[in-house]
Amino acid sequence: MADPDTAARAAELRTLLHHHSHRYYVLDAPEIPDAEYDRLFAELQAIEVAHPALLTPDSPTQRVGGRMLDGFTPVRHAVPMLSIRTETDTTAGGAIAFDERVRNALALPPDAPPVEYHAELKFDGLAINLRYEYGVLVQAATRGDGETGEDVTQNIRTVRGRRGAGGQIPLRLQGPAGALPEVLEVRGEVYMRRDDFEHLNERQRERGEKTYINPRNTAAGAVRQLDPDITAQRPLSFFAYGLGELRGWDQPPTHSAVLDALAAFGVPVCVDRAVVQGAAGLTAFHEAMGARRDALPFDIDGVVYKVNAIALQRRLGFVTREPRWAVAHKYPAQEQMTRLNAIEIQVGRTGKLTPVAKLEPVFVGGTTVSNATLHNLFELRRKAVRVGDTVIVRRAGDVIPEVVGRVGSGPRSPYVRNFRMPLACPVCGSAVLRERGGIDHRCTGGLFCAAQRKQALLHFAGRRAMDIEGLGDKLVDQLVDSGLIRTLPELYTLANDDRRAKLSALERMAEKSAANLLAGLEKSKTTILARFLYALGIRHVGEATAKDLAKHFGSLDRLMAASVEQLLEVNDVGPVVAQSVRTFFDQPHNVRVVEQLRAAGIGWPEHDGDAPQKGPQPLAGKTLVLTGTLPTLTRDEAKVLVEAAGGKVAGSVSKKTSYVVAGMEAGSKLDKARELGVPVLDETGLRELIDGTA
């Protein structure tokens, strides 16, 4: 008989698991990571095994979590959608233990041949049952509690997968009508690709709207929307992994053959699966997929092993809520709980200030994490995390670890003040600004800030900027890391005898490479104002805007002295760009860097401003878009021709586009031009237009 403390713990675990199961399955808003839920579940299971009298009919171990959400029609599953056992031993021991259980249940002698298994991925999404009648999708339902799910047919019809990447749920199965089953229920997982999830969150941030926690919750929430239009806006995909009810179809003899047959029907089936022999084969698959886990385009939290022969599956049968012939073998969790010790500011290469959580070190996603991003001030406030909180940290693939949110929502004690973004850059002391309507705070010391030094150098040396030949990523790293270069103007002091010797001594440089770089620096001193302006890296000032500013003011001094109102008079310069230019030249250190660059010998011809263009301007007032590969012109050469003829080159096609110039392998821009009725030219047509012979 169990002691009172054990009975109380079992009751506490049941309450906790019911709560977290409701948060996970019904509200799609979990408060704890999957690994913590699994730990609590395993603890309750162990107590019930040791003390059967404590096992109650309502224990979470006796059913699949979840219940109906108001607003959906209930669907009774013809064949229950049961869950499978989870093997939390993430080592090879988990596969070995499963194989031993199967062999014992089949009463196989030690010298019997190895059991044949089918090994597949355990997708992190929402389980769905698709019912096809005579090849037509008639119903889609969630798992629900395993016996009764929710009718989400209209939402599931919107799952289109990703172009060129599969994952689309077919509305009709492939094959001759007479050969299609009377009833075929396909079971699988609706999921969201990792890159689709990141793009969705980036779009949410740009709109100033809430971001989503992880791909699994986002996919589940999208499927269970009452409005199918909302589901249709989410980039969802699907993989099949099994069957439900069958009528009028001879089921293949193995699970692998079942999946092959589903693929032939046009149902998406993941290619990362294998038929393996015995524990050795299971272990090899687990290790191979673990090594590839981060490179997969979607999240998995483990692999699934199934006895391959259907006849053996039936012989093994079920125990309580789980089949004896299948198991989910987990990987190290990608979400864990830990303490938030501090919040610090990191200044990125482009000047963006990012709040970074300093964490009590925790092992998550296969590595120890002590730092995690909080993205920006608005994300931090939305997640309502403060120093001292217990938080959930997530690491998936190569994505930078992030704080998902706070564990629990109760009051804090003692009081901890809310985080505030600094007014000055912690690296260089320059003013920190946030553009109106924007979400990111940025350091204004672009040419001065040490955190932005490498990015500023690379941009300054770029082909479309000062075009300094030989100054690439690796050399910039060496120049900055060695302390040889601290500011842009110091580039032009490398020709000094003492500095030239240090330059030649850098890795892979030698005298010849150093001479080539110095020649490139000398050549770059003769430039044009537009290139110099673009090279300064002023926020929002691209090549086209730099040209407009140079043309309008004609002189750098006049531009530097211009007010916001005067800047707004420039073609295509709006309030955001005007304020950005004014802010840049309001920083004394930026002005100082510009003066030092000019003193180093950089110069250009100047004029009175808005000087008339030389030569004929047949493309004046015209906007062109370039796409594909032209026969004799590079993209840059074509752009120079267009601009010399008075035209403007844009990056996207719209109703305002005058012409699209298309070459070989032209893509979506050409399709968009045809859709909008925009005239399309080839290279010959472009030349004729410029020559006036068209």
Sequence spans of domains, the chain: 4-62, 85-330, 335-451, 467-524, 529-599, 623-691
615: pLDDT confidence band, cut at 50, 70 and 90?
low
Contact 213, 404 (CB under 8 A): yes
Q: Among positive and negative, which fits the CA dihedral 43, 49, 54, 58?
A: positive
Same CATH topology for 467-524 and 529-599: the answer is yes
Name the burial class of residue 668, with classes exposed (0-12), middle (13-18) and buried (19+) by CB atoms within 10 angstroms of its CB.
exposed
At a CB cut-off of 8 Å and minimum separation 6, what does 103 contact?
Answer: 112, 115
Looking at residue 426, its pLDDT comes to 92
Q: Which pTM does this prediction carry?
A: 0.57
Burial group, residue 134, by CB count within 10 angstroms (0-12, 13-18, 19+)? middle
397 vs 282 pLDDT, higher one: 282
Q: How far is CA 367 from the centre of its chain?
A: 19
Report pLDDT digits (tens) over 634-647: 887 888 888 878 88
* Most confident region among 68-77, 157-166, 607-616, 625-634 by mean pLDDT: 625-634
The confidence band for 518, taking pLDDT boundaries of 50, 70 and 90, is: very high
Q: How confident is the model at residue 612 (pLDDT cuts 50, 70, 90)?
A: very low
Active-site hit among 122, 383, 547, 639: 122
Average pLDDT, the chain: 87
CA distances (Å), origin 665, targets 74, 111, 547, 636, 669: 50, 60, 30, 17, 11
CATH superfamily of 623-691: BRCT domain (3.40.50.10190)
User: Residue 26 has what pLDDT?
Assistant: 47
- State the CATH class of domain 529-599: mainly alpha
Mean per-residue pLDDT, 164-169: 72
H helix count then E strand count, the chain: 24, 24
At 410 the pLDDT is: 65
Interval 261-315: pLDDT, tens? 999 998 999 999 999 999 999 999 999 999 898 888 898 889 999 999 999 999 9
Domain 335-451: top CATH class: mainly beta
Q: Within 10 A of 505 (CB to CB), how many other CB atoms are there?
A: 12
**Pairing relationship of beta strands 680-681 and 659-662 according to DSSP bridges:** parallel
Question: Tens of pLDDT along 168-227?
Answer: 888 888 888 778 999 999 999 999 998 888 888 888 877 777 778 778 888 888 888 877
Fold exhibited by the domain 85-330: D-amino Acid Aminotransferase; Chain A, domain 1 (3.30.470)
Q: CA 670, CA 665: separation in Å to the nearest integer?
A: 10
pLDDT for residue 641: 85
The CA dihedral of 595, 598, 600, 606, to the nearest 10 degrees, is: -170
Do 25 and 216 form a contact (C-beta atoms < 8 A)? no
Residues facing residue 276 across a β-bridge = 117
Question: How many CB atoms sit inside 10 A of residue 172's CB?
Answer: 14
Rounded distance between C-alpha atoms, residue 369 and residue 363, angstroms: 6
> pLDDT category, 632, cuts 50, 70, 90?
confident
Of the candidates 228, 58, 84, the one whose C-alpha atom is nearest the C-alpha of residue 159 is 228
Query: Cβ distance 486 to 450 under 8 Å?
Result: yes
Enter the tokens of residue 586: 């309001």
Chain center to CA of 46: 38
Query: Is 502 tagged catalytic?
Result: no
* Rounded Cα distance, 554 and 607, in Å: 5
pLDDT of residue 228: 75
- DSSP conformation letters of 432-453: EEE-TT---EEES-TTT-GGGH
Q: Which of 459, 438, 435 is nearest to 349 (CA)?
A: 459
- Any idea which fold 4-62 has? Helix Hairpins (1.10.287)
CATH 1.10.2020.10 is right for the domain spanning 467-524: no
Q: Which of 100-109, 499-508, 604-613 has the highest average model confidence (pLDDT)?
A: 100-109
Instruction: Look at residue 694 in the predicted model and tell me its pLDDT.
Output: 60
